[in-house]
Structure 1
Amino acid sequence: MLRKFTFLALIAVSCAKDDNSPLVISDVEINLKYDKQHQYSIKRGNKTLDNSAVKWELNDKNLGTMGTDGLFKARKVGTSHVNVTYNGALAQGNINVTPYSNLFTEPIMKFGSSMSDIKYLEKRKKIAETNNGIMYEGENSKIQRVAYVFDNDKLITALVIFKSTTAVAEEAGLFYKERYPKVVIGDPYIIFVDDDKIKIVGIGVDDDYGLVAIYARSDAGLRTNSSKALTEKHRKVINELKAKLASSK
């Protein structure tokens, strides 16, 4: 009888110990790509918990989806925390969705910013400036120019002029796809939509500039079925910048 009592007591102590143990997530930090997934597991003491019995939550739900089975499916580049709760206990892990491509630094799209604001924030080399625009030299051989267009000293759009090759076009498509999962297919422009619905990026081949990316407000209504998605007003500013650059050489 004493032996049986002792055995039951040991089981009770062991269970109590597990109940008071901290939650332990299988991976405190993970790194993966936007098109990959990762399976988590959770322990408390010596016991592996049923994933469906715990609560899974992402701080940034735009980063991917977190299933009730502990399976994280990435969606876009970025970082977030995964929070796991069970009977009042908490565990947390870091998720880093890293890019395949670091093609370039995107333009500073704080709509309404003044020219002086952009000049202060932009780190590329300025090569031309007019009353309504600023043009910068691309930071690598794949980026030719980055230009900003203003109206009454307020930023309204930006243009990235890429090197027009198939390899750069393919990398640019990947670069935007892993950062802007919402896509609208146009001809010849493809529109990538910001999750915050603040901006859109149209990428395509322009008659005048070649392979370009056009940044605009989400309500700008780029002409996706035209080889000249920029309005004539915007185009005029870009051409003035190009002329200013040519005259300074």
Structure 2
Amino acid sequence: MKKQLLTLLVPVLLIISCSKKDDKPSTTLDQDKVSLNYDQTHQFKLNEGSSSVEAAKATWSSSDLSVGTINAAGLFTARKIGNTTIEAVVNGSTISSEVTVVPYSELCIEPVAEFGITMAAVKSREKRALLEQSSNGLLYKGENAKLLNVIYSFQPSGLESSLLLLSPTEAVVEESGRFFAERYPFAGESDGIFFFEDLKTTVGVGYLEELGFVAVYFPSSITIMRTAGAKSSTEKLKALKQAFVETGRSVTLSQSK
């Protein structure tokens, strides 16, 4: 009986012994969660047990390239506020890290910028105190001393533009540059108006004679470019400037509240 048991145990022991010899430490990333700002980078490192592995041996990817990109050597470059998942594929195995790009500035809550939606839809999303309403506009009170008012302008087709009327102090003007730069790619400057944009929204930041220091949100310049037939970056900025000015002029509600 003992001999039969030993006969059965030998193959099992051999398998266990072999598997222990073949076991290799798993490959890991130096951090499974990373937090940084939009103008920073992070160099990911690969480890195999206590030994380091050359980062270039992995295939790297970012799930949201608008938030940040990663190169073949594992260097992550942040672009704007948001979240993305970084994956490294090594020898057929995938390991990942969650990257959060956090803000420097919390200047204010951005306005509703879903162009084309109804006034009722904007009112359901906007949580600030409503001061005034007309047939083609809404005026809200800013939630802090940096933001005086929020103004929404409408056409029959729906929301045309959103406008932040900001305090014209030097500190707020300076903070605004960083606030928008970490949320939208910088698109250029034309006559003191600074433009930031993504695929859906363009934000123009500057002074309007009738209002003061403002940030105007309107549909992406892709539409403006097609309408204006602009080809060069100079023509594009001229078209954006015109849209910024015209949008400001379309505001019909009083701001003195």
Q: How does 1:64-213 map to 2 (within 5 A)?
A: 64-152=68-156, 154-194=158-198, 197-213=199-215
8 Å Cα contact 1:17-1:45 kept in structure 2:
no
**Structure 1 residue matching 2:84: 3-state secondary structure:** strand
Q: CA deviation at 1:14?
A: 7.2
Write out per-residue CA displacement over residues 52-84 of structure 1, whole angstroms, 9 at most, x where no aligned residue. 111111001112221211111112111111011
Mapped to 2, the partners of 1:192 and 1:92 lie a distance apart of: 31
Aligned-residue Cα RMSD (Å) equals: 2.2
Mapped to 1, the partners of 2:239 and 2:172 lie a distance apart of: 23
Q: How many residues align?
A: 226
Equivalent residue in structure 1 for 2:246, among 224, 231, 235: 231
Mapped to 2, the partners of 1:155 and 1:63 lie a distance apart of: 27
8 Å Cα contact 1:113-1:155 kept in structure 2:
yes
8 Å Cα contact 1:161-1:212 kept in structure 2:
yes
Structure 1 residues 38 and 199, CA gap change in structure 2 (3 angstroms): same
**Structure 1 residue matching 2:23: 3-state secondary structure:** helix
Equivalent residue in structure 1 for 2:23, among 17, 24, 42: 17
Larger radius of gyration: 2
Q: Does 1:27 align with 2:31?
A: yes
Mapped to 1, the partners of 2:88 and 2:96 lie a distance apart of: 6
**Structure 2 residue matching 1:230: 3-state secondary structure:** helix
Query: Which residue does 1:3 correspond to in 2?
Result: none
| Identical columns (%) | 31
- Mark the runs of 5 or more structure 1 residues left unpaired by the alignment: 1-11
Write out per-residue CA displacement over residues 131-184 of structure 1, whole angstroms, 9 at most, x where no aligned residue. 001111001000000011111150011111000111100101110011112321
Query: Which residue does 2:232 correspond to in 1?
Result: none
Mapped to 2, the partners of 1:141 and 1:13 lie a distance apart of: 67
**Stretch of structure 1 that moved more, 151-160 or 133-142:** 151-160
Q: CA deviation at 1:46?
A: 4.0
Query: Which residue does 2:9 correspond to in 1?
Result: none
Query: Which residue does 1:214 correspond to in 2?
Result: 216
